[in-house]
Homo-oligomer: A and B are copies of this chain.
Amino acid sequence: MTTAPVRRLPQRSRLQRAEPPGDGRFAASARCLGNRSMSTPAFLEWFAERTGAHRFEVERIPFGEMDHWRLEHGTGNLRHDSGRFFSVEGLRVRTDLPGTPTWAQPIIHQPEHGLLGLLVREVDGHFQFLVQAKMEPGNAGLTQLSPTVQVTRSNYTGVHGGARAPYLEHFMGPGRGRVLVDVLQSEQGDSFHRKRNRNMVVEVRPDLPVLEDFCWLTLGQIAELLRRDNLVNMDTRTVLSCISFRTSAEDRRWAVSTAVDRFAAALADSFLGDDRALHTTPEILSWLTELRSLHEMHTELIPLAEVPRWRVTEDAVEHVDREYPSVVAVRVRAASREVAQWTQPLIHPHHEGLAAFLVQRVEGVPHVLMQAKAQPGLFDMFELAPTVQCVGRDYRRLALTEQPPFLDAVLTAPASRIRYSAVLSEEGGRFLRRENRYMVIEVPDDVELEIPPTHRFVTPGQLTRLVRQTAQVNVEARTLLACLQQLW
Contacts and interface: CB of A to CB of B under 8 A. Distances in A.
How many copies the complex holds: the figure is: 2
Given A184-B289, A198-B289, A289-B184, A294 B179 contact: no
Contacts of A112: 296
Interface residues of A, number: 29
Nearest to A159: B96
Nearest to A379: B380
A286 B113 contact: no
Contact of A285 (B183, B282, B380): B183
A286 B182 contact: yes
Nearest to A114: B293
Interface in A273-306: 282-283, 285-286, 289-290, 292-294, 296, 298
A200 to B, nearest CB: 8
Interface in A353-381: 380
A12 interface: no
A468 to B, nearest CB: 8
A115 B182 contact: no
Contacts of A293: 113, 115, 153, 184, 198
Interface of A: 111-113, 115, 153, 157, 179-184, 198, 200, 282-283, 285-286, 289-290, 292-294, 296, 298, 380, 468-470
A181 B282 contact: yes
A183 B112 CA distance: 26
Contacts of A469: 469-470
Q: Which of A157, A283, A293, A298 has the most CB of B within 10 A?
A: A293
A187 to B, nearest CB: 14
A282 B157 contact: no
Given A112-B296, A296-B112, A469-B469, A289 B182 contact: yes
A282 B113 contact: no
12 contacts: A112-B296, A115-B293, A153-B294, A157-B294, A179-B286, A182-B285, A182-B290, A184-B293, A198-B290, A198-B293, A200-B286, A282-B468
